[in-house]
Amino acid sequence: MGNKKLTFVLFIIYLLALNWLVLFKLHFSFDQIDRVRVINMIPLNDFVFSEVYNNIRIFVPLGIYICIFKSKWSFMKKLLSIFGLTLAFETTQFVLAIGRSDITDILANTLGGAIGIGIYELLFKILKHRTNKFINLFAGVLTFCALFFIIFIFNRLVILNL
Protein backbone atom coordinates (compact mmCIF):
# COMPACT_ATOMS: atom_id res chain seq x y z
CA MET A 1 0.00 0.00 0.00
CA GLY A 2 1.36 3.43 -0.88
CA ASN A 3 2.46 5.78 1.86
CA LYS A 4 -0.40 8.26 1.24
CA LYS A 5 -3.03 5.51 1.08
CA LEU A 6 -1.74 3.99 4.31
CA THR A 7 -1.83 7.41 5.99
CA PHE A 8 -5.41 7.91 4.80
CA VAL A 9 -6.52 4.47 6.07
CA LEU A 10 -4.86 5.08 9.45
CA PHE A 11 -6.50 8.51 9.63
CA ILE A 12 -9.95 7.05 8.92
CA ILE A 13 -9.43 4.41 11.62
CA TYR A 14 -8.32 7.17 14.02
CA LEU A 15 -11.44 9.26 13.23
CA LEU A 16 -13.71 6.26 13.77
CA ALA A 17 -12.00 5.53 17.09
CA LEU A 18 -12.22 9.21 18.06
CA ASN A 19 -15.96 9.24 17.34
CA TRP A 20 -16.44 6.03 19.33
CA LEU A 21 -14.45 7.46 22.22
CA VAL A 22 -15.88 10.98 22.31
CA LEU A 23 -19.50 10.33 21.37
CA PHE A 24 -20.10 6.74 22.46
CA LYS A 25 -17.70 6.73 25.45
CA LEU A 26 -16.42 3.31 24.32
CA HIS A 27 -19.93 1.78 24.52
CA PHE A 28 -21.55 -0.22 21.76
CA SER A 29 -25.02 1.36 21.86
CA PHE A 30 -26.76 4.60 22.83
CA ASP A 31 -28.62 2.68 25.56
CA GLN A 32 -25.41 2.37 27.57
CA ILE A 33 -24.56 6.08 27.39
CA ASP A 34 -25.29 8.62 30.12
CA ARG A 35 -28.28 10.46 28.57
CA VAL A 36 -27.87 14.02 29.79
CA ARG A 37 -27.96 17.42 28.18
CA VAL A 38 -25.61 19.64 30.16
CA ILE A 39 -23.43 22.48 28.98
CA ASN A 40 -20.64 24.06 31.02
CA MET A 41 -19.26 27.37 29.80
CA ILE A 42 -16.95 27.97 32.78
CA PRO A 43 -13.38 26.83 31.95
CA LEU A 44 -11.85 24.38 34.43
CA ASN A 45 -15.11 24.12 36.40
CA ASP A 46 -15.22 20.68 38.08
CA PHE A 47 -11.59 20.19 36.99
CA VAL A 48 -10.50 16.54 36.87
CA PHE A 49 -6.85 16.21 35.85
CA SER A 50 -7.19 12.74 34.31
CA GLU A 51 -10.08 13.88 32.08
CA VAL A 52 -8.19 16.92 30.84
CA TYR A 53 -5.04 14.86 30.32
CA ASN A 54 -6.94 12.21 28.35
CA ASN A 55 -8.66 14.85 26.22
CA ILE A 56 -5.30 16.38 25.38
CA ARG A 57 -3.79 12.99 24.61
CA ILE A 58 -6.51 11.72 22.28
CA PHE A 59 -6.35 14.84 20.08
CA VAL A 60 -2.57 14.87 19.57
CA PRO A 61 -2.86 12.55 16.53
CA LEU A 62 -5.38 14.92 14.94
CA GLY A 63 -2.77 17.69 14.93
CA ILE A 64 -0.24 15.32 13.38
CA TYR A 65 -2.64 14.13 10.68
CA ILE A 66 -3.66 17.69 9.80
CA CYS A 67 0.01 18.53 9.30
CA ILE A 68 0.39 15.54 6.98
CA PHE A 69 -2.69 16.31 4.88
CA LYS A 70 -2.57 20.11 5.00
CA SER A 71 1.14 20.92 5.25
CA LYS A 72 0.70 24.22 3.42
CA TRP A 73 -1.85 25.54 5.91
CA SER A 74 -0.71 28.07 8.48
CA PHE A 75 -0.52 27.08 12.13
CA MET A 76 -3.65 29.14 12.84
CA LYS A 77 -5.67 27.46 10.10
CA LYS A 78 -4.64 24.03 11.39
CA LEU A 79 -5.53 25.03 14.94
CA LEU A 80 -8.91 26.45 13.88
CA SER A 81 -9.77 23.19 12.10
CA ILE A 82 -9.02 21.26 15.30
CA PHE A 83 -11.09 23.73 17.30
CA GLY A 84 -13.93 23.36 14.76
CA LEU A 85 -13.96 19.57 15.00
CA THR A 86 -13.88 19.74 18.78
CA LEU A 87 -16.76 22.22 18.80
CA ALA A 88 -18.69 19.89 16.47
CA PHE A 89 -18.17 16.99 18.91
CA GLU A 90 -19.36 19.02 21.88
CA THR A 91 -22.36 20.34 19.94
CA THR A 92 -23.28 16.81 18.84
CA GLN A 93 -23.09 15.62 22.44
CA PHE A 94 -25.43 18.41 23.50
CA VAL A 95 -27.93 18.00 20.65
CA LEU A 96 -28.14 14.20 21.03
CA ALA A 97 -28.03 14.41 24.87
CA ILE A 98 -25.18 11.89 25.00
CA GLY A 99 -22.80 13.60 27.35
CA ARG A 100 -21.77 16.76 29.01
CA SER A 101 -20.68 19.57 26.70
CA ASP A 102 -17.83 21.41 28.35
CA ILE A 103 -15.67 24.38 27.36
CA THR A 104 -12.76 22.71 29.20
CA ASP A 105 -13.03 19.77 26.76
CA ILE A 106 -12.85 22.17 23.82
CA LEU A 107 -9.76 23.87 25.28
CA ALA A 108 -8.05 20.56 26.17
CA ASN A 109 -8.81 18.97 22.80
CA THR A 110 -7.53 22.02 20.95
CA LEU A 111 -4.39 22.03 23.10
CA GLY A 112 -3.88 18.35 22.25
CA GLY A 113 -4.14 19.15 18.55
CA ALA A 114 -1.68 22.03 18.97
CA ILE A 115 0.77 19.67 20.68
CA GLY A 116 0.33 17.28 17.74
CA ILE A 117 1.20 20.09 15.33
CA GLY A 118 4.31 20.83 17.41
CA ILE A 119 5.32 17.16 17.47
CA TYR A 120 4.99 16.94 13.70
CA GLU A 121 7.04 20.09 13.17
CA LEU A 122 9.75 18.77 15.50
CA LEU A 123 9.81 15.38 13.78
CA PHE A 124 9.99 17.10 10.39
CA LYS A 125 13.04 19.10 11.50
CA ILE A 126 14.73 15.86 12.53
CA LEU A 127 13.54 13.37 9.90
CA LYS A 128 12.76 15.65 6.94
CA HIS A 129 11.19 13.64 4.08
CA ARG A 130 11.08 10.44 6.20
CA THR A 131 8.65 11.98 8.70
CA ASN A 132 5.45 10.59 7.16
CA LYS A 133 6.93 7.09 6.84
CA PHE A 134 7.95 7.19 10.51
CA ILE A 135 4.50 8.40 11.55
CA ASN A 136 2.83 5.68 9.45
CA LEU A 137 4.98 3.00 11.07
CA PHE A 138 4.31 4.32 14.57
CA ALA A 139 0.58 4.88 13.93
CA GLY A 140 0.28 1.48 12.27
CA VAL A 141 1.73 -0.31 15.28
CA LEU A 142 -0.49 1.65 17.69
CA THR A 143 -3.56 1.07 15.53
CA PHE A 144 -2.86 -2.68 15.33
CA CYS A 145 -2.46 -2.86 19.11
CA ALA A 146 -5.63 -0.85 19.71
CA LEU A 147 -7.67 -2.97 17.28
CA PHE A 148 -6.34 -6.16 18.86
CA PHE A 149 -7.30 -4.84 22.30
CA ILE A 150 -10.81 -3.84 21.12
CA ILE A 151 -11.36 -7.25 19.52
CA PHE A 152 -10.13 -8.94 22.70
CA ILE A 153 -12.48 -6.87 24.89
CA PHE A 154 -15.41 -7.39 22.51
CA ASN A 155 -14.86 -11.16 22.49
CA ARG A 156 -14.69 -11.18 26.30
CA LEU A 157 -18.00 -9.28 26.47
CA VAL A 158 -19.64 -11.72 24.06
CA ILE A 159 -18.38 -14.70 26.04
CA LEU A 160 -19.56 -13.18 29.35
CA ASN A 161 -23.03 -12.51 27.93
CA LEU A 162 -23.46 -16.10 26.74
- Residue 162's pLDDT band, with cuts at 50, 70 and 90, is low
- The SS3 assignment for 33 reads coil
| 14-31 per-position pLDDT tens digit | 999 999 888 887 666 667
Q: What is the pLDDT of residues 88-122, one digit of tens each?
A: 999 999 998 888 899 999 999 999 999 999 999 99
Distance CA(146)–CA(140), nearest Å, equals 10
State which residues form the domain around 157. 3-161
Say yes or no to pLDDT of 154 above 80: no
Q: Could you give the number of structural domains in the chain?
A: 1
Between CA 55 and CA 47 the distance in angstroms is 12
